[in-house]
Chains A and B, each alone.
Chain A
Amino acid sequence: MVDLVWFQLLSAALFVIGLYGVMARRSAVLIVMSIELMLNAVNINLIAAASHMEGTGSFANFDGQLIAIFIITVAAAEVGLALAIILRMFRNRSTVNVDEIDLMKW
């Protein structure tokens, strides 16, 4: 069995890549994709921990799997919403570059 720490390293790497994508990308679509990446990094972490600690401690009742499935559901809804917003944004401003969409400031 693969050691838990490798899963956690993979999860952390995916999460940081996602975070970098959210901060560095200018396209709203890519930012949404990066957010998906971060969510999936969390899922990997949860599933790995759950399967390694099955039957012990607080992970006894498949909590990790449950939360992961829940996250996938929410993420699907979130993508739908985000893409709809991006579509409206493109219709109104003819761009999806977030640098040009800075109305939420003084």
Chain B
Amino acid sequence: MQWAWLIPVFCFAAAPVIVIFGKFLPTKGAFLSILAIAGGFVVFWFVFGSWLDADAATKGCFTSANTGMLSCDYERSWFNAGVIGAVGSVSLHWGILIDPLTIAMLGLVTFVALMVQIYSMAYMMGDPRFGWYFAVHSLFAASMLTLVLADNFLLLYVAWELVGICSYLLIGFWHERPAAREAAKKAFIVTRIGDVGLLVGILLIWRDVGSFSMLDAFEAVRTGAMSEGVATASAILLFLGAMGKSAQVPFHVWLPDAMEGPTPVSALIHAATMVIAGVYLVARAFPLFEAYDAVPLLIVAIVGLTTALMAATIALVSTDLKRILAYSTISHLGLMMLSLGAFGYTAAIFHLMAHGFSKALLFLGAGSVLHSTEFQETGEMGGLRKVMPLTAIVFSIGALSLGGIPVLAGFWSKDEILVAVNDNRNAAFIILTLFTALLSALYMGRAMFLVFFGELKDQNSHVHDAPLAMAIPMALLGVLALGFGFITFNWPGSFNGLGDFVFFGHAEEFHFEVWLGAVSIVLAVAAFMFAYLAYAKRSISMEATRSRFSGVLKVIENKYYFDEVYQWVVDKVVLVFSRAVAFFDRAIVNDIIVNGPADITRKFGIALRLHVTGHVYTYTLAMALGTVGLGIFVWVRSV
């Protein structure tokens, strides 16, 4: 288990090798990237296996007093500032923390990244920057793996920023297109706003605890050494970072624009690397959030619910296939946050994984569609199941899974969230969550039926199905999206369900609230039926509804004017303030304080240099007069 750090190191090593030697290698070095992540996936199983064998007596392992899970912590000194042990000295560590949360994330990240990279081999074929794509992909996966392994906040922050820069590079991968450049910058800047909160939160914890170690911080919270104010404030600040990365309102604006990147990148960002980092952070720092009165968790729940609801409504009216999926991701990230906010720790991680597999599948399916048809607008598609059956099947599996159709992965995880919300939050929350679930089924159904059902257009008659390298990852992910949900049950034998593996405080039995399950099944099935009639059969006309709700629709279609508000704030507040500061800097600081003394000295020098005539007799005269003056002085003194 000590060797878990090898998982990211493989990928970290692959990236520079591909950049430097890529052009001399077959497939421009892409195979190295795939080998690295595959190696990581193999090591993950060894880590998983040794964790199962480990107990509290194993080296580095202990049962965490906070989470109740068996955790293993291995750290190594990085560097020390000041004398070790002395007051004011800082010692920093590299360290890995392995607990079920980390293991779950490692499995998800390595598997999805592996699938996406294999898929990309076919999807990106012929791109002029093929090698660079895989190098950044490797670095991206490596950063995310470091992030989930980190046992201290500082290392986590480093990995967090690396994830940010990699997403910037990949979203702006086709930087010849202005939209891609803008989207990359937007993603980077918007998440940076949250990152400031994260950094301040980390420093606040460090100031209070005197260590960057997460375990020290959680221990301080548990024993009460960290006061309620500090715990609450740092939790909220950390959540600010999580909001930026996980695209929660009002920082969600970057994610839909991030669709400018290559589609497999979207799959990676949405399923495995970028956006789930926020959810992971909240889960990782759960002891901070849950301490004292758990005020931060209420904020998390409210932000999550708002995000889920708002993004679901936008997904319902969007016409761009990738944007529908992007808003769907935002909505489901909101649900994960809501679940954490409702103490549904297991449910959130379960949904994170189920959603990860389903959403990776959906994006790879969408990528396959875009690859063949070269359209992104759903209006240009329709009836594609006739020409690309495999893509249609796997996309439908993903859509049904996220829509919450029983026995698929998404149904079970969403059900767990509903149970958690029902148990720990009030009626308004559960009603709105159910409504979000309904919307979720509706927009997934809409996307699925608009693209794959109905009449096949003539322009798409030449379309072919995905090549093998794209089909295999989709099929594997499809199997997971179908069957992953079953790990939540108590199976006969030693495995007692996911709730016995990843949990907070105490192991959770799988339980199924019959009325909630029934309501969610009815809503999901009804939504898919409605979507089928409205978008595939076209027997229900949406025109009347559209005209009746035209006002509301306008607001939703403009994405609640978030971009406009940001634009206004930047134009009217940030730029005006910046100009004032710039004026102060130029007029006062630069012209008066800095250039002022220099100017005075210069003018003085110009006046003073006139006495240097260059004529010998001037100097002689001065010398003679000086001597006479000196003589008079001495004479007067002596008298």
Interfacial residues, chain A to chain B (CB-CB below 8 A): 19, 22-24, 31, 98-99, 101-106
Report yes or no: A98 in contact with B624, Cβ–Cβ below 8 A: no
Q: Spot the interface stretch: B135-143, B470-478, B576-584, B611-619.
A: B611-619
Given contacts A19-B624, A23-B621, A106-B609, contact A31 B614 (CB under 8 A): no
Determine the residue in chain B with the shortest Cβ distance to A35: B620
CB distance from B596 to the nearest CB of A (A): 24
Cross-interface CB contact of B613 among A22, A24, A105, cutoff 8 Å: A105
Chain B residues in 8 Å Cβ range of A31 = 616
Q: How far is the CA of A23 from the CA of B609 in the complex (A)?
A: 21
Report yes or no: A102 in contact with B614, Cβ–Cβ below 8 A: yes
Cross-interface CB contact of A98 among B609, B612, B615, cutoff 8 Å: B615
Report yes or no: A104 in contact with B612, Cβ–Cβ below 8 A: yes
Determine the residue in chain B with the shortest Cβ distance to A28: B616
Encode B314-333 as 1/0 by CB contact (under 8 A) with A. Answer: 00000000000000000000
Q: How far is the CA of A102 from the CA of B612 in the complex (A)?
A: 10
Chain A residues in 8 Å Cβ range of B621 = 23
CB distance from B152 to the nearest CB of A (A): 64
Chain A residues in 8 Å Cβ range of B613 = 102, 105
Give the interface size class of chain B. 10 to 19
Cross-interface CB contact of A22 among B609, B610, B617, cutoff 8 Å: B617
Q: Which of B587-639 contact A (CB under 8 A)?
A: 609-610, 612-617, 620-621, 624
Cross-interface CB contact of B617 among A23, A103, A105, cutoff 8 Å: A23
Chain A residues in 8 Å Cβ range of B610 = 106
Can you list 9 A-B pairs, Cβ within 8 angstroms, ordered by A?
A19-B620, A19-B624, A22-B617, A22-B620, A23-B621, A98-B615, A102-B614, A104-B614, A106-B610
Chain A residues in 8 Å Cβ range of B620 = 19, 22-23
Q: How far is the CA of A31 from the CA of B613 in the complex (A)?
A: 18
Q: How far is the CA of A71 from the CA of B255 in the complex (A)?
A: 95
Cross-interface CB contact of B615 among A19, A99, A106, cutoff 8 Å: A99
Chain A residues in 8 Å Cβ range of B616 = 22, 31, 98
Report yes or no: A103 in contact with B614, Cβ–Cβ below 8 A: yes
**Among B610, B616, B621: residue with most chain A CB under 10 A:** B616
Chain A residues in 8 Å Cβ range of B624 = 19, 23
User: What are the 7 closest A-B residue pairs judged by CB atoms, nearest first?
Assistant: A102-B614, A105-B614, A106-B609, A23-B617, A105-B612, A104-B614, A22-B620
Q: How far is the CA of A22 from the CA of B624 in the complex (A)?
A: 11
Q: How far is the CA of A75 from the CA of B619 in the complex (A)?
A: 21
Q: How far is the CA of A102 from the CA of B620 in the complex (A)?
A: 14
Determine the residue in chain A with the shortest Cβ distance to B616: A98
Cross-interface CB contact of A24 among B609, B612, B614, B617, cutoff 8 Å: B617
Report yes or no: B612 in contact with A106, Cβ–Cβ below 8 A: yes
Chain B residues in 8 Å Cβ range of A106 = 609-610, 612
Chain B residues in 8 Å Cβ range of A102 = 613-615
**Among B613, B615, B624: residue with most chain A CB under 10 A:** B615
Determine the residue in chain B with the shortest Cβ distance to A31: B616
Q: How far is the CA of A88 from the CA of B612 in the complex (A)?
A: 24
Chain A residues in 8 Å Cβ range of B612 = 104-106
Given A98-B616, A102-B613, 18 other A-B residues pairs in contact with their CB atoms under 8 A: A19-B624, A22-B616, A22-B620, A23-B617, A23-B621, A24-B617, A31-B616, A98-B615, A98-B617, A101-B614, A102-B614, A102-B615, A103-B614, A104-B612, A104-B614, A105-B612, A106-B609, A106-B610
Chain B residues in 8 Å Cβ range of A101 = 614
Chain B residues in 8 Å Cβ range of A98 = 615-617
Chain B residues in 8 Å Cβ range of A24 = 617
Q: How far is the CA of A105 from the CA of B621 in the complex (A)?
A: 16
**Among B609, B610, B617: residue with most chain A CB under 10 A:** B617
CB distance from B608 to the nearest CB of A (A): 9
Determine the residue in chain B with the shortest Cβ distance to A24: B617
Q: How far is the CA of A106 from the CA of B614 in the complex (A)?
A: 8
Q: How far is the CA of A24 from the CA of B615 in the complex (A)?
A: 11
Q: Which of B46-97 contact A (CB under 8 A)?
A: none
Q: How far is the CA of A31 from the CA of B610 in the complex (A)?
A: 24
Chain B residues in 8 Å Cβ range of A103 = 614
Determine the residue in chain A with the shortest Cβ distance to B619: A104
